[in-house]
Amino acid sequence: MKTKNYFLILVLLLLCTSANAQLKVKSDGRVQIGRMDLDLDKCKISTLQLMGKGYYGAGGKLSFGDMGHWDRYSLNVFVGEYENGIYTDTTTIKPDDDNEDTDRLWLHGKKGMVFTYSENSFKTTVAASIADDGKFTINNQVKANGLTITSDERLKENIKDLSGSGKDLLKSLKGIKGVSYNLRYTSPSPAIHTLASDETSEPLTEKEIRNIAEAAEVEKKLAEQAKKKRIGFLAQDIEKVFPELVETDEDGIKSVDYIGMIPVLLEGIKELQAENETLQEQSKYLLSQIHELALLTHSALLPNPHSPFKSSNMSSGDGELENNITGNKPAALHVTNSTAETEVTYELPEHYTNAELFVHNISGMTGTIGFDLNKNKSGVTIPASKLPTGVYAFTLVVDGMQIGEEKVFLER
């Protein structure tokens, strides 16, 4: 009778233990930890399933070492499902509250995170890290389809225009030089070579040999990337004029806020454009003054004592040849200008012995240029390089007589 009682007690204990169990190993080898009232892996995918106290088992976490305190906002190291920032008390989690089922992975490290990779068992390389100051450092290139930086005015204070900062941006930018360069390359896994060449070590397995070959290939690619020609700035140059754009880490390595350089360059371009516009206005004003002065003094300058032709005001005997300014005849000379060249067309008499075109810079910048028209019956083309910006008098002379003239302002 006592044996039966002991047996019944044992069965009851097993039943109670099963009913309150927090770990279940299923018949197919899958393991479920946490709530046992749910079976949420109908497709039998997961090998280990952590069930939290929330809706549909939400809120499960796997901690490493001391978890910390929810009520003190001091959680240590764990991975789990994010709970919408609820850190008050785990007893407030309601199994029927679907807001707890965030379906968001939660990786937490109280003092940051470190992401590493290893090409062999002797060397671990940090690929990225999040320090306790919140900075995310990536030790390799980042490739993305886009990048936006939060820049809402409502999130900023002490806003000041760079153009009104009192700093001469153009002078500051002069101290920064753009450079091309290659990265200095250091092998991330020197132990690979030791492992491959150590004759005293045990024979390598097939997998170890394959791993060494793969690691060597990765190292080759990294070395090739380092040799790639790059273009950028030197942090030390920028730090001298814009120290707010440069940071120095605990190892003394400097980094540049390249995004922050954009507004500096933009305002520098604006300053340069403003100076250019001012110079253009001054140039136009000076040229107009020269033009007016030339027109006022033109009567004194022509006829030019150095010119080999006579004035058309002299009588020609049978009749007077009038120029295109004072005469009644149609214009015998026409000047068309462009940025690349100046084209001069003219009408010559039916019978003549010698025809010439004289181009005189009234502005006084250059002397007089002569062209023999005996082989050019209807026009000549003069390159812009021979006629810089200025006021010019184009004079057509036939057999020593001036028969056409046109004054033109040429702008290059």
Report the predicted TM-score, pTM, of the whole model to 2 decimal places.
0.54
pLDDT, tens only, 7-47 = 555 545 544 444 455 788 887 888 888 877 778 888 888 88
pLDDT band at 246 (very low <50, low <70, confident <90, very high): very high
- DSSP letter assigned to residue 122: T
Q: Are 149 and 216 in contact (CB under 8 A)?
A: no
As a CATH number, domain 300-410 is 2.60.40.10
Average pLDDT for 151-167: 85
268-308: per-residue pLDDT in tens?
999 999 899 988 888 888 877 776 676 665 544 444 444 44
Q: Record the tokens describing residue 333, joined without a space.
A: 């000379």
Domain borders along the chain are 28-110, 112-139+169-174+183-228, 230-256, 300-410
What six digits make up the tokens of 163?
């153009």
Encoded tokens for 167: 């700093």
- Classify each residue of 235-254 as buried b or exposed e, where b means 16 or more C-beta atoms within 10 Å of its C-beta: bebbbebbeebbeeeeeeee
Angle at 367 between CA 364 and CA 368, to 5 degrees: 125
Q: What's residue 177's pLDDT?
A: 93
* Residue 362 burial by Cβ neighbours in a 10 Å radius (0-12, 13-18, 19+): buried
Check whether the bond before 303 is cis (ω within 30° of 0): yes
For 130-144, write each residue's pLDDT tens digit: 876 777 888 777 888
Q: What would the two tokens of residue 401 be? A: 């007589």
Query: What is the rounded distance in angstroms from the CA atom of residue 188 to the CA atom of residue 198?
Result: 19
* Residue 320, pLDDT above cutoff 60: no
Q: Tell me the residue type at 233.
A: F
DSSP annotation of 328 = S
Average pLDDT over residues 188-202: 52
Give the distance from CA 48 to its chain's centroid.
Answer: 46
